[in-house]
């Protein structure tokens, strides 16, 4: 016999500012259940969780908690007012009979000492302290609103393991797919104010959601066809037997009302990347580069070569130096030792994790147009700012909304809209998934998959890394960074654990009864570069630069739309010259890369 639910919400309705947010939402949580609450940004997930926690009173509906059941809620923005240290904040959440040691244990596991001043906490530290306070009492129900926000990968993986080991019931809101897939056993979908429940985890949600929306669309089309049939009868059949058929007139009005009020799926973000001119084959190269701050090594003796079209992820714990490494590779920060250089023809667009390039005083329209007119250049084509805003789910009336009052998700979409409109052949994305809903993440992934340029990505989202990157640079500690082939899961398979793991253990000692390995022959002595090769290695970069300049000059001539009409022979001559120059450039780049690889092998 199934146990009765510990927490129940029935027919919850709530309106903010004249717009219904919840119109008939329900939620049921039984002992030990793992429920994920999913929906678009702005659909009311956090509000429904606050109703469940008892912090928001709905306009209508019933909230019931079993007598004696304890409920703890993790807010997105914890309040530390009145608490001097993180330990005082966590201990204040304990109840009579709770283990005081657990507060210190959780703080220690989350990388805090308990002595941190609450007034000086970073976003990640504040989230860790709030998690410790929420988990410390071991309640019957945990309501977690974006628990992985501001956490690095080691903390996310620790939290995942900790929650798996609890007998507590969970209700989780998160945009971290892997986190939801690993923890959830049931899914509640909040869509247009109503909830639907699937008795399976998040891994089955998207297929179920798509099938549900497709069925809704088929029903809406059937209703539209029925209205068309009734309208035809109205035009040609209402004159006869008028009194008897007034019922059909009334039914048609009802059908129109039903269609008008039919709940349609919310809009989708429409992303288009503006590709720039093709970069050279070599995008950036680091050779034994090092960087330290106050004697602490951040990057030590790091070498890498990134070619055109590569997708490279950078992962590590908070404070490991991911942003520093990114700034070195892109030329924003010089190394203390070694060499870092960028290839030719780089057009870079950067998305920073703190949204620092957004001025809070700007309006949404000014942020997109730069304050110049009412058009945005997207992939070289002018587009009205209102139309471009709609592509990213902004309402027309938000054009004059100050950036400073936007939600985290809206600011994230605005940053994406600004970045994707600019022509580029190198995208540098520092935590692009923060505050984005799952549908927007899907579209961003598809957009990057079609992008012809190079991508450098810093992220704590394991699923997003697996979907996007072809190699992962991992912080191994003490300034060491190592590149692994494949996505995040491939890296874990190679290392044997996630990024919190230390370097791979040494090979096991040979047993005494094992035969000794045959002595390996000494490798042949490596040859030296010939004089011609040395000369080519020195002169090819200059020749490649000359060819790129020549191609750019010829391209400017071709950009003249009247050239072909005025001088067909001249047009053909310029076209042939570009083809020849590009062929020579490709050959020079190939030869230079071969010689660079050979030089490194000899040097190694």
Q: Which residues are annotated as a binding site for ATP?
A: 39-46, 316-323
d(CA 442, CA 458): 17
- β-sheet bridge partners, residue 74: 144
Residue labelled with tokens 């003490």 = 478
Burial classification of residue 238, based on how many CB atoms lie within 10 Å of its CB (0-12 exposed, 13-18 middle, 19 or more buried):
middle
Pairing of strands 71-74, 282-293: unpaired
d(CA 183, CA 61): 29
Report whether 453 contacts 475 (CB < 8 A): no
Long-range contacts made by residues 19-22, C-beta under 8 angstroms, separation at least 24? Answer: 20/193, 21/47, 21/193, 22/47, 22/48, 22/51, 22/58, 22/193
- Nearest to residue 575, comparing CAs of 545, 551, 597, 593? 551
Q: Give the burial string for 71-86 (b: 16+ CB within 10 Å, else e).
A: bbbbbbebebeebebb
d(CA 440, CA 392): 9
Give the residue numbers of the binding site: 39-46, 316-323
Gyration radius of the chain's alpha carbons: 30
Burial classification of residue 161, based on how many CB atoms lie within 10 Å of its CB (0-12 exposed, 13-18 middle, 19 or more buried):
exposed
d(CA 368, CA 444): 18
d(CA 71, CA 53): 7
d(CA 55, CA 47): 9
Joined tokens for residue 590:
């190939």
Report whether 105 contacts 132 (CB < 8 A): no
How many residues in the chain? 604
Structure-derived torsion over alpha carbons of residues 3, 181, 151, 492, reported in degrees to the nearest 10: 130
Biggest CA–CA distance in the chain, Å, is 106
d(CA 576, CA 560): 16
Q: Cβ of 139: how many Cβ atoms within 10 Å?
A: 21
Report whether 445 contacts 468 (CB < 8 A): yes
Q: In angstroms, what CA-CA distances link 132 with 38, 95, 138, 167, 171?
A: 24, 14, 11, 17, 17
């Amino acid at each position: 016999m199934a146990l009765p639910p510990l927490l129940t919400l029935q027919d919850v309705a709530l309106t903010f500012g004249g717009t219904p947010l919840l119109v008939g939402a329900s939620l049921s949580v039984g002992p030990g259940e793992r429920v994920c609450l999913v929906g678009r940004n702005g659909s009311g997930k956090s509000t429904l969780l606050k109703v469940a926690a008892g912090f928001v009173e709905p306009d209508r509906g019933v909230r019931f908690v079993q007598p004696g059941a304890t409920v703890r809620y993790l807010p997105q923005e914890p309040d530390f007012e009145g608490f001097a240290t993180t330990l005082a904040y966590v201990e204040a959440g304990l109840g009579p009979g709770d283990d005081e040691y657990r507060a210190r244990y959780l703080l220690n596991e989350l990388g805090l000492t308990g002595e941190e001043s609450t007034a000086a906490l970073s976003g990640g530290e504040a989230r860790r302290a709030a998690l410790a306070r929420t988990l410390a009492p071991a309640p019957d129900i945990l309501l977690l609103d974006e628990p992985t926000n501001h956490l690095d990968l080691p903390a996310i993986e620790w939290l995942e393991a900790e929650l798996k080991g609890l007998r507590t019931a969970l209700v989780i809101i998160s945009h971290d797919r892997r986190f939801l897939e690993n923890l959830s056993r049931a899914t509640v979908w909040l869509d247009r104010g109503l909830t639907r429940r699937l008795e399976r985890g998040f891994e089955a949600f998207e297929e179920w959601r798509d099938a549900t929306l497709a069925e809704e669309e088929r029903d809406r089309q059937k209703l539209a066809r029925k209205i068309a049939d009734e309208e035809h009868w109205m035009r040609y059949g209402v004159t006869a037997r008028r009194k008897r058929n007034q019922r059909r007139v009334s039914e048609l009005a009802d059908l129109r009302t039903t269609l008008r009020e039919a709940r349609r799926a919310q809009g989708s973000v429409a992303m288009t990347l503006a590709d720039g001119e093709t970069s050279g084959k070599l995008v950036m190269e680091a050779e034994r580069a090092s960087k330290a701050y106050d004697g602490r090594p951040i990057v030590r003796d790091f070498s890498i070569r990134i070619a055109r079209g590569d997708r490279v992820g950078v992962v590590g714990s908070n404070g490991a130096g991911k942003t520093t490494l990114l700034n070195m590779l892109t030329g924003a920060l010089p190394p203390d030792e070694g060499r870092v250089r960028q290839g030719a023809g780089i057009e870079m667009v950067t998305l920073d994790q703190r949204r620092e390039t957004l001025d809070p005083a700007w309006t949404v329209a000014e942020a997109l147009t730069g304050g110049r007119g009412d058009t945005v250049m997207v992939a070289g084509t002018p587009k009205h700012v209102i139309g471009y805003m709609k592509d990213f789910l902004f309402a027309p009336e938000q054009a004059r909304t100050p950036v400073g009052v936007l939600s985290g998700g809206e600011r994230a979409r605005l940053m994406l809209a600004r970045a994707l409109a600019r022509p580029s052949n190198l995208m540098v994305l520092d935590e692009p998934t923060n505050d984005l809903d799952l549908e927007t993440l899907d579209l961003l992934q598809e957009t990057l998959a079609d992008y012809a340029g190079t991508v450098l990505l810093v992220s704590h989202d394991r699923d997003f890394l697996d979907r996007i990157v072809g190699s992962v640079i991992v912080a191994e500690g003490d300034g060491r960074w190592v590149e692994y082939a494949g996505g995040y899961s491939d890296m874990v398979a190679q290392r044997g654990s996630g990024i919190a793991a230390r370097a791979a253990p040494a090979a096991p000692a040979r047993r005494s009864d094992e035969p000794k390995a045959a002595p390996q022959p000494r490798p042949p002595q490596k040859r030296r570069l010939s004089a011609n090769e040395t000369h080519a290695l020195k002169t090819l970069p200059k020749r490649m630069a000359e060819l790129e300049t020549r191609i750019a000059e010829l391209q400017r001539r071709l950009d003249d739309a009247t050239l072909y009409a005025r001088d067909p022979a001249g047009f053909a001559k310029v076209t042939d010259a570009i083809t020849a120059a590009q062929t020579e450039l490709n050959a020079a780049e190939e030869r230079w890369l071969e010689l660079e690889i050979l030089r490194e092998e000899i040097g190694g």
